[in-house]
Structure 1
Amino acid sequence: MKINIQPLDNTYSDQLIDLILSIQQKEFNIPITIEDQPDLRQIDSFYQEAGGNFWGAFIDGELVGSIALVKFDERAGAVRKMFVKKEFRGKELNIAQKLLEVLISFCRENGIDAIYLGTVSVLKAAMRFYERNYFVQVEKENLPVRFPLMSADDVFYALKINQAV
């Protein structure tokens, strides 16, 4: 199976909304709606114009994964919308890893030294994934002032890019 990772824009909003909401609501029962995530309809302005980006992983033309970067400071960004369809998860295809590597490469090329993220404590596999990738858990009060908090998030991580292996 060939995985194609490419930047996304607003033309992919509906596919992204289908992917993300089904994982959030159906798989993990997180009480979140599209109204809580207006950024999914404003990819160009919310992510790209500010210096971040949004990527999708495709297999045979089907969107099976996503990751986004919100640049919130001169040299810092927030990882958002990291999702992979259940049937495409795992080491065999390694989609999450490939998406994260694309994001980190983008950060290196664009002078972003640190990335932060928030997640939900029920997402144990996601937490293990971030820890395997050298993210360090940080207390909410130690996040950068301008970090864009999401109401559902209760666990936070940081990664210094120029120190990443």
Structure 2
Amino acid sequence: MKPVIKSIANKYENHAANLIINIQQNEFGVPITLKDQPDLFDIQNFYYSGGGGFWGAFIDDELVGTIALVKFEDHKAAIRKMFVKKEFRGKEFSIAQKLLDTLLEYCRENQINDIYLGTVSILEAALRFYEKNNFVDIQKDVLPEKFPLMAPDNVFRHLTLK
């Protein structure tokens, strides 16, 4: 059961939305709804049209993880929608790492040098994961002006690729 990482678009939006909202609401109790995330129902326009992307991790044709990139300035982008189904987390599958590596490779190929993300403090494993991948804490008030802020986010990280 080796994960396959590939670009996904509108064809997978219901699968992605179900995976993401289940983790956000049911697993972590994050106060966010699908209505708060219209990007999930227009992946093509929201992520790809501006120079970003959206990737999925599949095991036996089942979507088990996602990661997305919103490009908001020439050389700056934000990670969004990084979620892995509970039973596929950890070193055995390394899905989160493979998703992040795919996104970072895309950034390098497309001269995106500054990567930002916002998350919530209760996602402690995610925070450790980003730290392990050299993301550093950044205060909300020094985020780039065009950073696409999500209401529940209260922790912010930054990675310089150059």
TM-score range, shorter chain: over 0.9
Match of 2:118 in 1: 118
Q: Distance in 2 between matches of 1:114 and 1:127?
A: 18
After superposition, the C-alpha distances for 1:75-124 in whole angstroms (9 at most, x for unaligned) are 00000000000000001110000000000000000010010000000000
Considering only aligned residues, what root-mean-square deviation do their CA atoms show, in Å? Answer: 0.5
For residue 89 of structure 2, what is the amino acid of its counterpart?
R
Which string of whole-angstrom CA distances, capped at 9 and with x for unpartnered residues, describes residues 22-70 of structure 1? 0000000112111000000010000000000000000000000000000
Paired residues in the alignment total: 162
Q: What is the percent sequence identity of the aligned residues?
A: 59
Residue equivalent to 1:11? 11
Residue 72 of structure 1 aligns to a residue in which SS? Answer: strand
**Structure 1 segments unaligned to the other structure (5+ residues):** none
Establish whether residue 24 from structure 1 lines up as the match of residue 24 from structure 2. yes
Deviation digits for residues 123-151 of structure 1, max 9, x if unmatched?
Answer: 00000000000000000001111101100
Q: Distance in 2 between matches of 1:114 and 1:101?
A: 15
Q: Structure 1 segments of 4 or more deviating over 6 A?
A: none
Mapped to 2, the partners of 1:95 and 1:129 lie a distance apart of 12
* Distance of 1:161 and 1:14 partners within structure 2: 32
Matches within 5 A, 1:2-151: 2-151=2-151
Q: TM-score, normalised by structure 1?
A: 0.97
Amino acid aligned to 1:71 = K
Structure 2: distance between partners of 1:45 and 1:26? 28
Which amino acid in 1 is paired with 2:150?
M
In structure 2, the gaps of 5 or more residues are none
Take 1:46 and 1:88, find their aligned partners in 2: how far apart are those partners?
27
Normalization by structure 2: what TM-score? 0.99
